[in-house]
Amino acid sequence: MKEVKTPKKPLILFYVIALVVLLALNMFLFPALINGQIEQVGYSDFLQMLEDGKIDQVQVESDLIVFTDKAEKPQIYETGKMDDPNLVERLENAGVDYGAEIVKETSPLLSFLLSWLLPIALMLLLGQLLTRGMMKKLGGGGLGGSAMSFGKSNAKMYVPSTTGIKFADVAGEDEAKEVLTEIVDFLHNPKKYEQIGAKMPKGALLVGPPGTGKTLLAKAVAGEANVPFFSISGSEFVEMFVGMGASKVRDLFAQANEKAPCIVFIDEIDTIGKKRDGASSLGGNDEREQTLNQLLTEMDGFDGTKGVIILAATNRPESLDPALLRPGRFDRRVPVELPDLKGREDILKVHAAKVRRDPNLDFNAIARAAAGASGAELANIVNEAALRAVRQGRDTVLQSDLEESVEVVIAGYQKKNRILSDKEKLIVSYHEVGHALVAALQTHSAPVHKITIIPRTSGALGYTMQVEEGEHYLMSKEELENKISTFTGGRCAEDLVFRSVTTGASNDIEQATRLARAMVAQFGMTEEFGMVALQAQNNLYLGGDASLACSPQTAAELDRRVIELVKRQYAKAEKLISDNMSKLHELAKFLYEQETITGEEFMRILESPIAMPEGNAYNEGE
Ligand code: ADP
Ligand code: MG
Ligand code: ZN
């Protein structure tokens, strides 16, 4: 993919040359011109002229003397002022008017205007004319920023080339690729569709969480389609000057119409496409509304059969103005979701192909460990792994690099220099083993992959990495309950061993509560409420933002159910841990000493015959 740029170089060169010429003129020519009327003479000449009675007026300044002669058109002279105590006497004797103010021909203001402003204005005018000429030659392109390109769309135009991004560079996202392939096909063979009477949608909206490859997909479309591709980000419409956004939209569509068939891609369309609300007319967002209105008008205005297709991308479809989603505008929605296990593996492979690596890497294991990661995060994982390899002086990426960078990217960088006190380390060890033990003892919970008590910058003191055995979308009530008791396991272990609790469980508490609340209010998993939705999920992608949709009495009852549910799961965790107290001590001791414990080590200790109780890491008597 090559970007077509306005040839700016010659213009810059022109301005540089102009500046140099200007400076030269100012240094040599103008002083001569302006000072041409003033003649410099020596002090002795001045005295001679004075004696000869040739001088008419004299003006004595701090360091020079200006005087005129008695000619019909008086000439102005200048001479340096000497330390001459007899000067006044001499002037008196010669009978000249020596208090006079001699007006020099050119005032400083005039000379400034003449020597700087006028030439600059001329140069600018000339430059403008030249630019116009160039633009004409380019066929009125107006693609890049000329000196005065206010109101131009500034959309980057791409022309297809063999080096571009192809669909093959986008791993997973098969559905999205299918839809986009159809669009590309339409632009290449419009006849095929016309014959049968099919009309292509005017616009398609790529919708999905950040980092899932929406922009990448659009670039792939540009690489695959053999038509011009205009790309612009929503934020580029938002300009300093009111009315500019709207005129940019107009310009963009004018260009697109000219180049049809072509594709227009508006990234992050939510910046201009937000819902319009009446309140904003009181000031502030008028500009954005105007821009959006212009966009709507343009989308209605152009002829769909001409082959201009509008792609747009957003993370926040729910914030878009409904008018944008009406038929005839962005009537096709292309979901671009977070990758599943297979997708994650493929994305890792795509990015790993670009680095030098050990041929036997197990991408499946990494993909499993990176559950929930977006494409951008997976790309980052591979890059971090490569950086780690370099740091350690190797020239290939190993499995261990990838494993480490999963943790770095998912859980924040390891902060080896952040020192935990021994007591803190011990508490964290028990806390983390508490989670893992409860998880492992419940049949449906995911087995533990790795636990570490090396602090992360994310703020988590310990970190239990759980690996889902396979992807599953449906979770049973029992599985959810087990998850909650796993969340409570950390605090539970602390309480059982130390008889006091710490702040370390705040995140667990949050997650357990969220899950319990969802079970009651969203998933209909209590007998009391049955299948009644008590919560409205407003924002699908940015998490949270769930608002209650029930009466205050029901809300109070809901809270009671949630508390009850969490407490019941806490009791379950407490029982599980109490029954396996010696295992808890044994595992915590191992973790405390090694700082890290893998899934296998964990299971080996858990399944080994019970060791002697003297191995406790923590003795209450101490
Ligand atoms: P979005 O626009 O959805 O926020 P981007 O398209 O900007 O995400 O993705 C950022 C980067 O993440 C891409 O440049 C690419 O390196 C990587 N990436 C994301 N999704 C994928 C994918 N499906 N396949 C390969 N790489 C991906
Ligand atoms: Mg993007
Ligand atoms: Zn915890």
Residue minimizing CA distance to atom 14 of ligand 1? 216
Please give the Cα distance from 544 to 522 (Å, whole number). Answer: 13
pLDDT of 442: 86
491 CA to centre of ligand 3 in angstroms: 7
Strands 229-233 vs 156-159: parallel, antiparallel or unpaired: antiparallel
Q: Hey, which residues does 566 pair with through a beta bridge?
A: none
- Spatial contact of 342 and 312, defined as CB atoms under 8 Å apart: no
At position 521, the amino acid (one-letter code) is: A
Q: Tokens at residue 611, please?
A: 């060791």
Task: Tell me the sheet residues that pair with 207.
Answer: 314, 335
Long-range CB pairs of 12-15, under 8 A, 24+ apart, other chains included: 14/127, 14/130, 15/123, 15/127
464 CA from centroid of ligand 3 (Å): 8
pLDDT of residue 543: 47
d(CA 341, CA 354): 21
Residue whose C-alpha is closest to residue 244's, from 279, 294, 280: 294
622 is catalytic: no
- Ligand 1 atom with least separation from CA of 173: 23
End-to-end CA distance of the chain: 70
Q: Which region, left, alpha or beta, applies to residue 372 given φ > 0 means left and ψ of -120 to 50 means alpha?
A: left
Q: What is the CATH number of domain 422-621?
A: 1.20.58.760
Give 614's contacts (C-beta < 8 A, 6+ positions apart): none
pLDDT of residue 145: 36
Report the length, in residues, of the chain: 622
Tokens of 204: 């398609």
Half-sphere exposure of 129 (CA within 13 A, CB side): 6
Task: Give the distance (Å) from ligand 3 centre to CA of residue 508.
Answer: 5
SS3 255: helix
- Name the pairing type of β-strands 38-40 and 596-598: unpaired
CA distance 344 to 374: 8
What pLDDT score was predicted for residue 139?
A: 37
> Considering the entire predicted model, what is its pTM?
0.54
Please give the number of the atom of ligand 1 that sits closest to the Cα of 343. Answer: 23
Atom of ligand 1 nearest to the CA of 218: 6
Contact 440, 447 (CB under 8 A): yes
Domain borders along the chain are: 2-27+109-149, 38-104, 156-335, 341-411, 422-621
Q: How far apart are CA 74 and CA 37, in angstroms?
A: 10
Q: Are 213 and 313 in contact (CB under 8 A)?
A: no
* Minimum-distance ligand 1 atom for the alpha carbon of 214: 3
Distance 522 CA to ligand 1 centre (A): 31
Q: What number of CA atoms fall less than 13 Å from residue 609's CA on the CB side? A: 1
What residues does ligand 1 touch, defined as CB less than 6 Å away? 170-173, 210-216, 313, 347, 350, 375-376, 379
In 3D space, the residue among 88, 106, 4, 18 whose CA is nearest the CA of residue 50 turns out to be: 88
CATH no. of 341-411: 1.10.8.60
219 Cα nearest atom in ligand 1: 6
Please report which ligand is nearest the Cα atom of 216.
1
Residues measured by CB to lie within 5 Å of ligand 2, the ion = 215
449-466 burial string, b = 16+ CB within 10 Å, else e? bbbbbbbbeeebbbbbbb
Which CATH fold topology does 156-335 show? Rossmann fold (3.40.50)
Average pLDDT, consecutive stretches of 10 residues, N- to C-terminus, the chain (622 residues) = 46 72 68 63 82 81 79 78 76 76 64 73 75 47 39 57 73 87 87 84 86 90 84 78 78 85 88 69 66 86 78 87 83 82 89 91 85 85 93 92 84 51 86 92 67 60 55 78 92 94 88 90 84 67 60 88 95 96 94 82 84 50 38
DSSP state of 25: I
Helix/strand/coil (H/E/C) assignment for every residue in 47-105:
HHHHHHCCEEEEEECCCEEEEEECCCCCCEEEEECCCCCCHHHHHHHHCCECECCCCCC
Residue 454: the pLDDT is: 65
* Closest CA to ligand 1's atom 1: 211
Lookup: tokens for 549: 């949709």
Q: Which of 174, 206, 212, 381 to mutate to test the pocket of ligand 1 (most atoms within 8 A of CB)?
A: 212
Cα of 482 to ligand 1 centre, how many Å? 34
Instruction: Collect all residues with Cβ–Cβ distance below 8 Å to 188 and sequence separation of at least 6.
Output: 225, 226, 227
**What pLDDT is attached to residue 461?**
55
Instruction: Show Cβ contacts of residue 253 under 8 Å, excluding neighbours closer than 6 positions.
Output: 264, 298, 301, 302, 308
Q: Which two tokens stand for residue 144?
A: 């890049």
Exactly one of 432, 494, 574, 586 is catalytic; name it: 432
Ligand 1 mean position, distance from CA 449 (Å) = 27
Phi, psi of 213 (to 5 degrees): 100, 25
Q: Report the sign of the C-alpha dihedral through residues 279, 281, 282, 288, in that order.
A: positive
What strands, in cross-sheet order, belong to the sheet with 463-466?
A: 463-466, 448-452, 596-598
User: What's the pLDDT score for residue 445?
Assistant: 52
For position 138, what pLDDT does the model report?
A: 42
Structure tokens at 17: 């040359």
State the Cα–Cα distance between residues 454 and 77, nearest whole angstrom.
Answer: 87
CA distance 544 to 615: 44
Instruction: Please identify, in words, the CATH class of the domain defined by 38-104.
Output: alpha beta
Q: If you measure from the C-alpha of residue 487 to the centroid of ligand 3, how many angstroms do you get, rounded to a whole number?
A: 6
